[in-house]
Amino acid sequence: MTYELEKIKTLWDIPKEEHLVGGHSLCAGCTAATIVRHLLKVAGKNTIVVNATGCVEVSTTSFPYTAWRVPWLHVAFENAGAVASGVESAINALKIKGEIPVEKEINVIAIAGDGGSFDIGFQALSGLMERGHKVMFVIYDNEAYMNTGIQRSGATPFAAWTTTTPVTRRIRGEWRNKKDMFDIAIAHGIDYAATANPAYPVDMDSKFQKGLSKDGPSLVHVIMPCTTGWRFEPKYGITIAKLATETAVWVNMEYDVGNFSVTVPVKKRKHVREYLKLQGRYSHLSETEIELIQEQIDRKVEEINKRAGKEVIGPLEA
């Protein structure tokens, strides 16, 4: 692929052009807009976006307005993977037939929330990855069905309050663990999968760049703190995102043609309490429950270090 952009190594390398413009109706402090804005800066204007139903879709295309400066298509909730497969196949066919110049590079990006990828969109996403379409699938993961009012999804983490895992006499928030999309994507035999965090824009943007440079499917799974559903003041979105990585609740990883790496190593981890205490969805937790979550993270960190072959995520701060 002839990719005209220089490799993104610092904030200064991030393109200035905006392809997602203001005036949309996403919540104040919503980090989805930050993610998509960066995604389009990296992708540039020769890009077609397929959007699953969700927050980003409903808030950016309120007819007769649009926030998108690139061609954009929304069909339904569960089929972004299939629609993007169709767009990509059409580009190939029209190139063969001379209706689109062969040399014209067009990025195809599917954007979906956790519902449109982990749950209802899972089958179409799996089909897309298995068939090898040259599409980058970007998940903005706010860990519940925020667009319909904070119902739990397969991405909701252990202990989180949602409107369907309420804190009540019998239920104390979500009692199951989050699905592992990163490894599920890798298991499809694709070349590139990554996890990313908008608090680390250089890391995130370089992952978008790498994903787009691949000749087949790629998946970038991005954590997306949600002011409305996670119950925090709008100004804390990026702070909480940063804490997610500093506590190793969220590890920025990458799989690139067989090579696994942790792209944002953490020397000393903060206690998970620092991450949980800023969010209303965890306000019901007892000390015992917080320690249980900490133990889960400790185990996960051990596994990741083993997989990386060295200590990329350090011990808890004293």
Partner 1 sequence: MALGLETKKSELKPLSTNKAVAEAAKDSNVDVVAAYPITPQTTVVERLAELIGEGELDAEIIHVESEHSALSAVIGASAMGARTFTATSSQGLALMHEILHIASGLRLPIVMSVATRALSAPISIFNDHSDIMNQRDTGWIIIFTSSAQETYDTIIQAYKIAENSNVLLPVMVAYDGYVMSHTIEPVEVLGKKVAEEYIPKKVSWNRLDPDRPITIGTITSPDYYYEFKYAQAKALESSLQHILEADSEFKKKYGRGYGAVEGYMMEDAEIAVLGTSSYFSNLKYAVDELRKKGVKAGAIKLRVYRPFPREQLYELIKGLRALGVIDRSISYGMTPSGPIALDLMSTYRYKNIPPIQSFVAGIGQRRMLIEDFVRIYEILERRASSNSINEETLFYGVKGIDL
**Site residues for partner 1 per CB under 8 A:** 45-48, 50, 57-58, 61-64, 66, 68-76, 78-79, 81-94, 96-97, 99, 106, 123-124, 126-127, 130-131
Select 92 or 168, whichever has its Cβ closest to partner 1.
92
Select 72 or 208, whichever has its Cβ closest to partner 1.
72
CB of 108 to partner 1, least distance (A): 9
CB of 82 to partner 1, least distance (A): 4
Using CA atoms, how far apart are residues 34 and 30, in angstroms rounded to an integer?
8
Cβ atoms 271, 316 nearer than 8 A: yes
Amino acid symbol at 283:
S
CB of 39 to partner 1, least distance (A): 15
- Classify each residue of 46-62 as buried b or exposed e, where b means 16 or more C-beta atoms within 10 Å of its C-beta: ebbbbbbbbbbbebbbe
CB of 71 to partner 1, least distance (A): 4
| CA 191 centroid distance within chain | 17
CB of 48 to partner 1, least distance (A): 5
Q: What are the residue ranges of helices labelled H in 248-286?
A: 273-276
- Tell me how far CA of residue 261 lies from CA of 178, 227, 233, 311, 314, in angstroms: 21, 30, 33, 11, 15
Using CA atoms, how far apart are residues 101 and 205, in angstroms rounded to an integer?
28
Select 79 or 156, whichever has its Cβ closest to partner 1.
79
Select 47 or 195, whichever has its Cβ closest to partner 1.
47
Select 94 or 304, whichever has its Cβ closest to partner 1.
94
